Structures are given as structure tokens and as C-alpha cells.
């Protein structure tokens, strides 16, 4: 019965074009699918219908008044037009009503550049305001908890945030207080918002009422470029947009984009996974042990070109029997990298001691019910599958690091995870153990990891924003990193596909 | 190799009258030049030539010279760090870092505001783009210095010239945000000393 | 059929009767007979009777009550009946009169309505300012319970009805049916998006009928006397009697029960005794603050029913006839109306939230002498663009009187501005 209902369709006319949609769809949904832009503020595909902004007015033939498209269920034969003079006037006035008490402090508002009010002023507004009076003043720059700064003056009371709190996180931390044009969005009794999804409020806010503390005042959005990629924060693999100013090689923020995996949302934890890619955090060059004839610092290692470091690595590997070499690999690489890495080290060189470098106290099963998972590696499944592909047991367990230490290997080729923020156990401890375990070649993207001078052979890696490839998430769905990633930090950082290619060619 | 012989054009019979035409025009021109030369030599007329840089020279208020930042009455820079000047700048010579102001009234202000004056093309777009009249191009035109000079002007330097040579006050009153100049500079203010040199 | 415009006492039948609120008095005058009779009939037949009686909602919109009842799904399940006793329209004081005279008439009407639509629970939602009426209603509910007219198995039938009373917190918008339901649910009183309509998804998401006190209180009489008798009163399209609340500088202001289609002039000059000495009629608001104002010319020959007032560009609304005399400044009147709607807008829909505030602010500017003449035209433009664009009718309620006053008294407003400027 329900199956039948789901496939049942109807046809109506939208701007004189016949449109066929599933039964129960609203005109707004149909228009969104057809690419017809009906201006709206309060409607959001991931939330319930509020119908309060009264912006999405459309004309239905035969009805005396204009109707709001977001709550207009399509009926067969209905004739809807979105571009008559009457509709245009309604849009213009709806915008005017939204703007009369808006402070227009765009110069200091982070939303400027991606603000619905600005966009709609250009597309359906462009009028001279009739408003000549003083605006209503409301509290500004309030800390409401989480990653949020609230400006009630900029707010247009679309209630998206209130509905998000009620429907998505089910915390209900926000409400609209007072009535009329005195109404403000606020939290209850100073009970600050505290959950892992606060920055979604910044995304869904069509204006600059909610801004992110993390991104606050850091960069105007029109300087930023974005790529479509996958969040590497956990095994959910949310589809995201990564924003960077490429000239600076600096990353500024991560926002979700719609996909089956994550819907419209992502967690705050994932949002912060751009900082480790910024230049000051990165391992910029390779290190090789200082030779006797070399001058320089007192340290036992010197900066080197990555090719030299790799050549050195090959020399070193030649000194050990394959059974004395252990390959310690994080679960944060792409499938392509695993394939090449294992093809080289396992199949070609015959290294059989392969271990997963993971958080030794992780709770892989943990899941917050929405998106965030306890497995802080984006490609655990892909890692296991790649191991299986080269004839090794597909075991990717939290004891991998300890097993490697106990394996009796003399030379460790250690490919470190780029993101260790979610680690429960101390990653520093692991590094300390590793440095004491024997000869180590450390592959990492983080300067922090290679800080210890005991690591005298270090190879710099790319981070996820600079790589292409695929992850296999917890639900066995493949998710792609950017096809055209950002330009890497410098010509020294490489991903493992490039590194194995270099190793093979020398 | 042979040389082709070309016949000279025939001499105009009116050559004398033509020559007179040239001479008379030269003399008409030279009359003005010589008149002024002798008048000024005999101090009958004031010379327009300045003995710059010994004598001060001023440009009009609209001259697009070295930038300065206007300030609020309490002395803080008016700039809200909106980056519009940096966006408009064709030479990409403005670097801003914004920060949270302790006062919620102001909210956003520039922690750093730097202009790489060597890149600047003095187009005045920054001035036009500014929504709060915080940046202006002043009348200072003489920027001389060697490679050792600091050619990147910092916020402190840009905002630390309250009384510029032509008398434009860079302090503007709060309730007069949108006027161009607070008061018309008086003749005395206009004659203040020229600011020479470059950098700081 | 209906063409009698003679006075019939239906709602005010207990006028002049001592101790009229008591259950005993009500029963002595045939009280609860209608309920007894109704419970012997099929609910569908009851709805048919009410439909045939031609009674229309007395709250303001004038939607046929029987039709509203018939929208409720027939299927078994939890349903609710709510009496809208939140008499908030400025100038209206009719529902409280019913509560004062005969609360049992309302309770009986509600019991019949609940039976007709299949509701197991009924609420009376009264505005909190009516503290005396609240006490009377609560006493009456208690009496009805102890007499067995409410509760389980009424009159020995299978029909059971629980009734409760709820008092609002003083918001005008809670007089709007979905706003009232939000408030009843314990939420902020703001109207809900329609569709779905309350008859399908109302109180707690269950089918709910919301009727005005006056509508429900008329039901027992209709059941007792039949649909045709009710239809015989009033006009063709507006059957029955209506309570009119006349206020302003008239000799005898108050509530009058008159058949619909009654002459306005008769109401003003005979029933209410005409204008007070020294006062001349300047205008009249025929249906509460949200109805557009009518000029004396338009009032000539006006009959008080839905259609003829609508033909003059106003509305019958709640039947609050407000007489305005020549001493009244339309500027001040407009300011008061604008202030009222600004204060009472729930703030949900943008055109109303911002528009009411804007109109009120312009009126303050005009009153304080800071406005320009073009602001008067601006008022009309704002009103025109906020009307008909919102979830509930409050934006229309604010826009319509504004447009009417600007249209009919624009010169007075402009003269006020000029004078304010000169002084």
C-alpha cells in the first residue's frame, strides 16, 4: 500500500510546463527539483514546514489570494505560476518587510557574501526602501553556547534554528520569545546549547543571526574557494565542502553538503578538521639522518628533499630482511593509497608484518544516533578490504599498534594518521613508544608528530584536502575526496600513490 | 648598385611669404614667454614655480596620495575590518586581520591593517569601497626612501597622523559619519608643514 | 425562507429572570431538554439539522457551523470540541453576556455539538480577564456534572463527555482558532499553518471543532424548535439572531439580540436611543476593530447581516457596532487601532510582524507631529501589501481598517500633519 503510494504520481502545470511529481509533494519541492527558484527563507528541505516568512508566494490559477509554495500540496491539473507581476510585487514586499528592521551591518557580518537577504535583494528586490523610521534594536553578539554567536537584530525569525533544535537534535534549546516585532530567538534561562551539531545552525540560518565562533571574522567568504570532498573525521564519511583561500594554502572551514549519507548536516567535531592542514601545523619537508660529512644543526637529522629521503628509505630497507620490517598503517588513507602501498610493500617487497595504526582505546561501535561515530578513521572498511586483497588477514583492530610493537620487527615503516583529534588514548604515547622501538621511517603530514628528533627519517604527506581518492564508510558506501583537490602545501608533500611511484622508479 | 636620382621639388615662388608665416608665429609665442620672463625677472609678477622641496607644496584635498585611516572621537580607528577595500584593491596591497572588539557596540575591528605602498597604484578604489569612510587617500605625495625603508604601512602609522598637512582631520565625529570632511580647513591649517619622507 | 426581522429572544431568553445562572432556573425553563432530545437522534441527523438551520459562525468569519461540523472525520477516535470564549475583538462584549445570563445554555449546546461530532472531551477557552465569567462557567460545569448532564453515560446513553475550562493569558491572537488550540496545548499562542485544518488535525493533532460561544449557545434552541424555525429568523443567507454590542456616544449602549438583517438605523436610533445630545455621527465600525470603518452615507439603509455589510466594503465580524462621533479624532483612533494590532501580532509571519509595527510607528510619528504627508499614502501601501499574506487573518485585521481610514479620512490625517508642522 505504502509502496504504491510512494510511486503514485500526479501532473500539474508549473510556469506553463507540465511537471510530474510524487503524490503529496509540495509546489516548492517540485520547483526545487525543476530548478525553478522560488525565493524562500523559512523553508528548508531537511526541516518541517513553518510557512512563516511568507516569501515563497506563487499564483495558483483560480484562487483569489497568492499561496505559499512551501505548504501548497500539488494537486492534479493545478496551474501554478511563479513570475507574474502580482507575484513579483509580493516577493518585493515580503523582502521589504524582512529588511525594514534588519540592521544592514553587512560590513561586519560574516554572512555577507552568502546571505539570502543580499542574494534576494539582487534577484527579486532592487527597490528603494519605503522605510524612513528608526529600526527596532535588539541584543547583539550573544554567546548562546556551542560554536555559536547569536545576533538577534539580524534575525528574520524564520524559525529554522528552533525547528532544527526540536526536530534534528531533539534538544529544543531555542525558542522565540516575546511577540510581534519585539520577538527574539533565545535560549531558555541561560541554558546554553551544548551538543555536537551547533554549527549546523550557522549553515541553516539564512542571514547572519547565527555565526560561528570558529570562523568569526577570519575571512570574508568571497575570498574562499570550495571543493566537494568527504569529511575524514569518522567512519560516517559525511559529504562536505572544504573552503580554502588557495593563495594562502590556508583552510578556513568545512560545511556539509546534501547526500544520502549525512542528509543536510554534519557534526561540530568534523567542522574543525581543517586546522591540521594549515601551513603552521604541517610537516613541510622530509628529514634524513645526518651523515658524518654533513654540517648543520646539532640534531641528528637534516631537512632533505623527499626524493633523497625515499632513496635513503630504500637503502635502509635493503639492510633488513622483509621479516624484520613492520608496516604500520593508519586507517585514514584512501583506497587507492592502500592499493599502491600494499602492492609495493607487501606484494613486491614481501613485508608480511602489516599492522593498523589506530587509537588503542577506541570504541568502534559508538554512535550518537545522528552522524558521529566512535571510529575516528574514515576508511576502516577500505583498509580491511585492501589487506584482504593482498592476501593478509583483514584485521583492522585497535590492538594493531601494540601488536606491531610486540612483533619483534627491527624496522618500522609507520604511516601516521593525519587526524588524531578524536583519539581517546594518547597519540603522543604511541609516538614515544614508536621512537624507542627501533629504526623508524615516519610518514606524516603533521609537524607535531615528527617533532621528536629521534625520528630521523621522516616523509611529509598530503592531507585530505590535497588528495583525490575514495573512502569506504561504515555503511560500506564509497565516498569520494575531491576530484580536483586544492593545490598542495608545497612540492615536497606527497600522497602514498605518488610516494610508491617514486619508490618504484628509483 | 645604382642610385636613383630624384628631382627636388620645385621651389615655391612664395617661399618668402611662407617663411614669414613661421617667424611671425614664433614671435607671437615668444612674446608671451619673454613678457613673463622679464616681468618675473624684474619682480613685477609673482612666480608660480615652487622651489620644492625647500618651499612647501600643497595639493588639493582630493589628491590621491598616501593613505590614512580616520578615527572615532575616542581615538580608535573607524575601520570595521569589512575587507571591502581589500576586495576592491586592484593591486591587492591591503592586508587586514579582523578581531573581536571588547565593546559589543563596535564588534569587529582590524587587529592588523597594512598597506604595501610599493604595490599601491593610488587608484582610490579603497576609499570608494569603504562603507564607513575609514580609509582615505591624503594629500601627501612625496614618498621618498631607500630599500631599507619600511614600505608596509601598519595600522598604527596609518591612523597616527591626525593633523595632515592640508588640514584634513582624520578624526570624525560619530554623528557625522557620512559627511566627507568635518569642517572646512582654514587657510592657516592648509599652510601647515609638509610631511616629507617615507615610511616611519 | 427567512425574512422575519422581528425580535426573538434566543440567547437572551433569560434576561430579567432572577438567578438565571443557576441550573434549577435553567431547568425550570426547559433546560437540557434539547440535549435529552438530541441524544435520541443520530449524530449525522443533528449535523443535518444544524446545517439546515443556516446558522453561521458568530465569531467573525461567518462560516456555516453545520458545514464545519461535517468536516470532522466520521471514523471512531479521539476528537475534541472547543468553545472559543476568548472574546478579544475590541468593542465586543457579547459572549460574556451569555456567560452572565445562562452558562448552562452554552454547556448544553456544547454537549449537543460534542455528541454530533463524536467528541469525548470539550473545553471552554475563556480569556483570563473574564474572571467572574470563569467562576460562573466553572460553577455551571460542576452543577452539570453533579446533575449528570456531563460525565459518563449522559441520560443513560452510551454518550460520555468530559468538559473542562481553560483560561487564556490575555492574547488577542488566541481568539483565532488555531492560535487558541496552540495556547490550549500549552504552547505559545500562535496560529498554525493551514492546511491541515483543525477539523482534521487540531488540538493535539486530533480532529477538533472550534466554535464561538454564541454559536454553541444557539444550538439548544435549534434542536428544541427545529431548523425551520431558526431559519425563519433573519435573512435568506444569514439565519437566526445575533448579539450586537453597540458602544460609543449613544443613549443606551449595550448588548441587543437582533435578528440578522435588522436595520442599522433602527438599532442606533430606536434600540440604542440615538446619539447622546451634542454628538453627531461621524462614522461607524460595524464589526469590531478589525472591520473597516463606514461613513454615515454608507450607513443609510444598511441592514445588519453578513452580505449587506460586505457589500459596503466592511464586515459584520463579531457584531461590535462602534459609533464614532465628530468629536473623535480619526488620527488618535487610527493610532489606537494600530497600537493594538502591533501589540497583539504574534510575530510569526513577517508581513504582519513588521507591517503592524511599521504602521504603528508611522502613526506615532503622525501623532507626535514628525510625519510628512506622504506617510499617509505609505500607510495604505503598507496595509495593502501586508493584507492576505499571512497564516491567520490578523494582518488583514490590521490592514483593512488602516486602508479604510486612509481612504475615507486621508484628508483629516493630512490636515493633522500640516497643523502639527505649523505649530
* Tally of CB atoms within 10 A around A28: 22
Torsion of CA C85, C89, C90, C96, to 10 degrees: -20
Residue B97's CATH number: 3.30.70.3270
Q: Do A220 and B107 touch (CB under 8 A)?
A: no
Position A273 in a domain = no
End-to-end CA distance of chain A: 65
Query: Using one digit for the tens of pLDDT, what is the confidence trace for A84-137?
Result: 999 999 999 999 999 999 999 999 999 999 999 999 999 999 999 888 899 999
Residues of chain C with pLDDT under 70: 1-6, 421-423
A363 and A496, same domain (yes or no):
yes
B174 and B96, same domain (yes or no):
yes
Q: Is the pTM of this model over 0.80?
A: yes
Q: What are the grid coordinates assigned to C118, written together?
A: 463524536
A67 and A212, same domain (yes or no):
no
Position A83 in a domain = yes
C180 and C222, same domain (yes or no):
yes
- Mean pLDDT across chain B, nearest whole number? 79
B77 and B109, same domain (yes or no):
yes
Give the CA diameter of chain C.
Answer: 77
Residue A159's CATH number: 3.30.70.20
Asked if the C-beta of A137 comes within 8 angstroms of chain B's C-beta atoms, the answer is: no
pLDDT for B129 equals 94
- Name the domain count of chain C: 3
Supply the range of the domain harboring residue C417: 330-422
A409 and A455, same domain (yes or no):
yes
ipTM above 0.85, yes or no: yes
The residue count of chain C comes to: 423
Cα separation, A41 vs A159, in Å, equals 9
Q: What are the grid coordinates assigned to B14, written together?
A: 612664395
Position B6 in a domain = no
Residue C73's CATH number: 3.40.50.11540
The residue with cell 613678457 is B35
C304 and C365, same domain (yes or no):
no
The residue with cell 452539570 is C144
Position A140 in a domain = yes
Q: Which helix (H) or strand (E) element contains residue A412?
A: strand A411-415
- Asked whether the beta carbons of A331 and A373 are under 8 A apart, the reply is no
Q: What is the residue-wise DSSP string for C301-316?
A: T-EESHHHHHHTT---
C218 and C267, same domain (yes or no):
no
Position B18 in a domain = yes
Asked if the C-beta of C239 comes within 8 angstroms of chain A's C-beta atoms, the answer is: no
pLDDT for A130 equals 87
Confidence of residue B190 (pLDDT cuts 50, 70, 90): very low
Q: Do A100 and C354 touch (CB under 8 A)?
A: yes
The residues facing A440 across adjacent strands are A412
Using the 3D structure, point to which of C196, C231, C266 is the last residue of a domain. C231
A 103-132 residues inside an 8 A Cβ radius of C: 130-132
B36 and B126, same domain (yes or no):
no
C189 and C304, same domain (yes or no):
no
Residues of chain A with pLDDT under 70: 1-6, 293-298, 506
Q: Do A107 and B131 touch (CB under 8 A)?
A: yes
Using the 3D structure, point to which of A57, A74, A99 is the last residue of a domain. A99
Q: What is the pLDDT averaged over residues B81-87?
A: 94
C189 and C62, same domain (yes or no):
yes
Asked if the C-beta of A223 comes within 8 angstroms of chain B's C-beta atoms, the answer is: yes
Cα separation, A256 vs A258, in Å, equals 7
Supply the range of the domain harboring residue A32: 2-99
**What's CA C352's distance to the chain center, in Å?**
21
Cα separation, B81 vs B86, in Å, equals 9
Query: Using one digit for the tens of pLDDT, what is the confidence trace for A281-336?
Result: 999 999 999 877 666 556 788 999 999 999 999 999 999 999 999 999 999 999 99
At A468 the three-state DSSP class reads coil
A95 and A143, same domain (yes or no):
no
pLDDT for A1 equals 39
Q: Do C350 and A130 touch (CB under 8 A)?
A: no
Position B2 in a domain = no
Asked if the C-beta of A55 comes within 8 angstroms of chain C's C-beta atoms, the answer is: yes
Cα separation, B96 vs B84, in Å, equals 10
If one compares B139 and A173, the residue with the highest pLDDT of the two is: A173
pLDDT for B175 equals 53
- Tell me the CA distances in angstroms from C62 to A418, C2, C106, one per residue in order: 69, 17, 19
End-to-end CA distance of chain C: 60
Position A118 in a domain = no
At C101 the three-state DSSP class reads helix
Instruction: Give residue C329's region: left, alpha or beta (phi > 0; psi -120 to 50).
Output: beta
Confidence of residue B46 (pLDDT cuts 50, 70, 90): confident
B21 and B94, same domain (yes or no):
no
Chains B and A touch (3+ CB pairs under 8 A): yes
Supply the range of the domain harboring residue B179: 67-190
B80 and B175, same domain (yes or no):
yes
Q: What are the grid coordinates assigned to A442, written together?
A: 615516519
Instruction: Give residue B107's region: left, alpha or beta (phi > 0; psi -120 to 50).
Output: left
- Name the domain count of chain B: 2
pLDDT for B197 equals 35
Query: Using one digit for the tens of pLDDT, what is the confidence trace for B93-138?
Result: 999 999 999 988 889 999 999 999 999 999 999 999 999 888 988 8
Alpha-helical regions (H) of C6-121: 23-28, 33-39, 43-53, 65-70, 95-101, 103-117
B126 and B75, same domain (yes or no):
yes
Confidence of residue B161 (pLDDT cuts 50, 70, 90): confident
A339 and A471, same domain (yes or no):
yes
Query: Using one digit for the tens of pLDDT, what is the confidence trace for B51-67?
Result: 888 888 877 777 888 89
Position B196 in a domain = no
- Tell me the CA distances in angstroms from C272 to A123, A465, C13, C93, C244, one per residue in order: 57, 82, 19, 15, 11
Statement: residue B185 has pLDDT above 60: no
Q: Do B107 and A108 touch (CB under 8 A)?
A: yes
Confidence of residue B1 (pLDDT cuts 50, 70, 90): low
**What's CA C22's distance to the chain center, in Å?**
25
* Tally of CB atoms within 10 A around A305: 13
Using the 3D structure, point to which of C324, C356, C387 is the last residue of a domain. C324
- Asked whether the beta carbons of C173 and C394 are under 8 A apart, the reply is yes
Position A274 in a domain = no
Statement: residue B198 has pLDDT above 50: no
- Asked whether the beta carbons of B115 and B67 are under 8 A apart, the reply is yes
A88 and A140, same domain (yes or no):
no
pLDDT for A445 equals 95
- Name the domain count of chain A: 3
Which residues of A fall within a CB distance of 8 Å from C351? Answer: 54, 93-94, 97
C28 and C95, same domain (yes or no):
yes
B23 and B119, same domain (yes or no):
no
Using the 3D structure, point to which of C280, C306, C324 is the last residue of a domain. C324
Residue A67: which of C357, C388, C419 has the closest Cα?
A: C388
C159 and C67, same domain (yes or no):
yes
Amino acid at each position: 500500500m505504502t509502496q504504491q503510494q510512494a510511486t503514485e504520481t500526479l501532473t500539474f502545470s508549473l510556469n506553463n510546463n507540465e511537471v510530474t511529481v510524487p503524490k503529496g509533494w509540495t509546489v516548492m519541492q517540485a520547483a526545487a527539483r525543476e530548478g525553478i527558484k522560488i525565493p524562500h527563507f523559512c523553508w528548508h528541505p531537511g526541516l518541517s514546514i513553518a510557512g512563516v516568512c511568507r516569501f515563497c508566494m506563487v499564483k495558483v490559477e483560480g484562487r483569489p489570494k497568492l499561496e505559499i509554495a512551501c505548504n501548497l500540496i500539488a494537486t492534479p491539473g493545478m496551474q501554478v505560476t511563479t513570475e507574474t507581476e502580482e507575484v513579483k510585487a509580493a516577493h518585493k514586499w515580503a523582502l521589504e518587510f524582512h529588511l525594514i528592521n534588519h540592521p544592514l551591518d553587512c560590513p561586519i557580518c560574516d554572512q555577507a557574501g552568502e546571505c539570502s537577504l543580499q542574494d534576494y535583494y539582487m534577484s527579486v528586490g532592487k527597490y528603494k526602501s519605503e522605510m524612513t523610521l528608526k529600526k527596532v534594536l535588539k541584543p547583539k553578539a550573544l554567546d548562546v553556547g556551542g560554536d555559536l554567536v547569536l545576533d538577534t537584530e539580524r534575525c528574520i525569525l524564520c524559525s529554522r534554528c528552533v525547528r532544527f533544535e526540536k526536530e534534528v537534535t531533539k534538544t529544543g534549546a531555542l525558542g522565540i520569545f516575546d511577540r510581534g516585532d519585539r520577538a527574539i530567538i533565545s535560549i531558555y534561562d541561560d541554558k546554553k546549547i551544548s551538543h555536537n551539531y551547533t554549527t549546523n545552525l550557522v549553515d541553516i540560518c539564512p542571514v547572519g543571526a547565527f555565526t560561528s565562533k570558529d570562523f568569526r571574522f577570519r575571512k570574508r567568504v568571497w575570498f574562499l574557494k570550495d571543493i566537494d570532498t568527504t569529511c575524514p573525521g569518522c567512519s560516517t564519511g559525511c559529504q562536505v565542502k572544504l573552503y580554502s583561500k588557495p593563495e594562502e594554502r590556508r583552510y578556513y572551514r568545512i560545511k556539509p553538503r546534501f547526500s544520502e549519507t549525512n542528509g543536510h548536516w554534519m557534526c561540530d567535531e568534523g567542522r574543525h578538521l581543517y586546522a591540521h592542514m594549515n601551513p603552521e601545523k604541517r610537516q613541510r619537508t622530509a628529514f634524513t639522518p645526518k651523515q658524518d660529512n654533513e654540517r648543520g644543526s646539532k640534531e641528528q637529522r637534516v631537512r632533505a628533499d623527499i626524493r633523497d629521503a625515499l632513496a635513503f628509505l630504500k637503502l635502509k630497507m635493503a639492510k633488513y630482511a622483509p621479516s624484520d620490517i613492520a608496516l604500520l598503517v593508519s586507517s585514514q588513507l584512501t583506497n587507492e593509497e592502500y592499493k599502491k602501498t600494499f602492492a609495493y610493500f607487501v606484494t613486491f617487497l614481501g613485508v608480511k608484518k602489516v599492522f593498523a595504526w589506530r587509537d588503542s582505546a577506541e570504541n568502534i561501535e559508538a554512535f550518537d544516533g545522528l552522524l558521529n561515530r566512535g571510529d575516528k578513521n574514515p576508511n576502516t572498511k577500505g583498509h580491511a578490504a585492501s589487506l584482504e586483497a593482498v592476501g593478509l588477514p583483514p584485521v583492522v583492530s585497535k590492538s594493531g599498534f601494540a601488536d606491531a610493537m610486540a612483533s619483534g620487527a627491527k624496522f618500522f615503516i609507520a604511516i601516521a594518521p593525519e587526524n588524531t583529534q578524536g583519539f581517546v588514548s594518547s597519540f603522543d604515547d604511541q609516538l614515544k613508544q614508536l621512537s624507542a622501538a627501533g629504526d623508524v621511517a615516519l610518514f606524516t603530514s603533521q609537524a607535531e608528530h615528527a617533532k621528536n628528533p629521534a625520528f630521523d627519517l621522516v616523509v611529509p604527506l598530503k592531507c585530505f584536502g590535497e588528495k583525490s581518492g575514495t573512502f569506504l564508510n561504515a555503511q560500506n558506501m564509497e565516498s569520494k575526496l575531491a576530484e580536483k583537490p586544492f593545490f598542495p602545501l608545497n612540492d615536497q608533500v606527497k600522497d602514498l600513490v605518488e610516494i610508491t611511484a617514486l619508490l618504484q622508479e628509483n | 648598385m645604382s642610385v636613383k636620382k630624384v628631382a627636388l621639388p620645385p621651389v615655391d615662388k612664395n617661399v618668402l611669404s611662407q617663411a614669414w608665416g613661421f617667424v611671425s608665429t614664433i614671435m607671437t609665442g615668444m612674446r608671451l614667454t619673454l613678457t613673463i620672463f622679464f616681468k618675473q625677472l624684474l619682480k613685477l609678477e609673482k612666480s608660480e614655480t615652487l622651489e620644492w622641496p625647500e618651499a612647501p607644496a600643497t595639493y588639493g584635498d582630493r589628491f590621491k596620495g598616501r593613505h590614512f585611516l580616520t578615527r572615532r572621537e575616542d581615538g580608535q580607528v573607524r575601520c570595521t575590518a569589512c575587507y571591502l577595500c581589500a576586495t576592491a584593491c586592484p593591486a591587492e596591497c591591503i592586508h587586514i586581520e579582523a578581531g573581536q572588539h571588547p565593546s559589543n557596540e563596535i564588534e569587529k575591528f582590524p587587529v592588523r591593517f597594512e598597506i604595501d605602498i610599493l604595490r599601491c597604484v593610488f587608484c582610490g578604489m579603497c576609499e570608494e569601497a569603504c562603507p564607513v569612510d575609514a580609509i582615505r587617500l591624503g594629500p601627501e605625495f612625496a614618498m621618498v626612501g631607500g630599500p631599507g625603508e619600511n614600505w608596509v604601512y601598519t595600522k598604527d602609522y596609518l591612523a597616527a597622523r591626525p593633523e595632515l598637512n592640508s588640514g584634513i582631520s582624520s578624526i570624525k565625529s560619530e554623528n557625522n559619519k557620512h559627511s566627507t570632511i568635518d569642517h572646512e580647513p582654514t587657510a592657516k591649517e592648509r599652510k601647515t608643514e609638509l610631511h616629507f619622507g617615507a615610511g616611519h | 425562507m427567512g425574512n422575519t426581522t422581528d425580535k426573538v429572544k434566543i440567547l437572551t431568553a433569560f434576561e430579567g429572570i432572577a438567578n438565571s445562572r443557576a441550573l434549577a432556573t435553567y431547568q425550570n425553563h426547559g433546560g437540557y431538554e434539547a440535549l435529552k432530545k438530541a441524544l435520541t437522534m443520530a449524530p449525522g441527523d443533528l449535523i443535518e439539522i444544524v446545517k439546515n438551520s443556516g446558522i453561521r459562525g458568530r465569531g467573525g468569519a461567518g462560516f456555516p457551523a453545520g458545514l464545519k461540523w461535517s468536516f470532522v472525520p466520521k471514523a471512531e477516535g479521539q476528537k475534541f470540541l472547543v468553545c472559543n470564549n476568548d472574546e478579544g475583538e475590541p468593542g465586543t462584549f457579547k459572549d460574556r453576556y451569555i456567560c452572565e445570563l445562562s452558562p448552562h445554555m452554552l454547556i448544553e449546546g456544547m454537549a449537543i455539538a460534542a455528541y454530533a461530532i463524536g467528541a469525548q472531551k470539550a473545553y471552554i477557552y475563556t480569556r483570563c480577564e473574564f474572571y467572574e465569567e470563569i467562576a460562573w462557567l466553572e460553577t455551571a460545569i460542576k452543577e452539570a456534572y453533579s446533575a449528570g448532564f456531563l460525565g459518563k453515560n449522559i441520560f443513560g446513553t452510551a454518550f460520555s463527555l468530559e468538559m473542562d475550562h481553560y483560561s487564556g493569558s490575555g492574547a488577542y491572537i488566541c481568539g483565532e482558532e488555531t492560535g487558541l488550540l496552540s495556547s490550549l496545548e500549552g504552547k505559545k499562542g500562535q496560529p498554525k499553518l493551514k492546511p491541515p485544518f483543525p477539523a482534521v488535525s487540531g488540538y493535539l493533532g486530533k480532529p477538533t471543532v472550534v466554535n464561538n460561544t454564541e454559536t454553541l449557545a444557539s444550538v439548544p434552541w435549534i434542536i428544541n424548535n427545529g431548523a425551520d424555525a431558526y431559519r425563519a429568523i433573519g435573512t435568506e443567507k444569514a439565519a437566526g439572531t445575533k448579539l450586537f454590542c453597540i458602544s460609543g456616544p449613544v443613549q443606551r449602549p449595550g448588548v441587543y439580540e437582533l435578528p440578522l438583517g435588522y436595520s442599522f438605523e433602527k438599532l442606533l436610533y430606536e434600540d440604542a436611543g440615538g446619539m447622546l445630545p451634542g454628538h453627531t455621527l461621524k462614522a461607524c465600525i460595524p464589526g469590531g476593530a478589525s472591520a473597516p470603518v463606514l461613513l454615515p452615507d454608507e450607513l443609510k439603509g444598511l441592514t445588519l447581516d453578513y452580505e449587506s455589510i460586505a457589500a459596503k466594503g466592511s464586515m459584520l465580524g463579531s457584531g461590535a457596532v462602534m459609533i464614532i462621533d465628530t468629536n473623535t479624532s480619526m488620527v488618535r483612533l487610527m493610532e489606537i487601532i494600530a497600537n493594538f494590532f502591533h501589540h497583539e501580532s504574534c510575530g510569526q509571519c513577517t508581513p504582519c510582524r513588521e507591517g503592524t509595527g511599521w504602521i504603528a510607528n508611522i502613526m506615532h510619528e503622525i501623532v507626535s507631529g514628525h510625519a510628512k504627508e506622504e506617510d499617509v499614502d505609505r500607510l495604505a501601501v503598507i496595509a495593502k501589501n501586508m493584507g492576505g499574506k499571512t497564516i491567520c487573518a490578523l494582518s488583514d485585521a490590521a490592514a483593512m481598517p488602516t486602508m479604510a481610514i486612509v481612504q475615507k479620512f486621508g484628508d483629516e490625517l493630512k490636515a493633522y500633519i500640516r497643523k502639527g508642522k505649523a505649530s
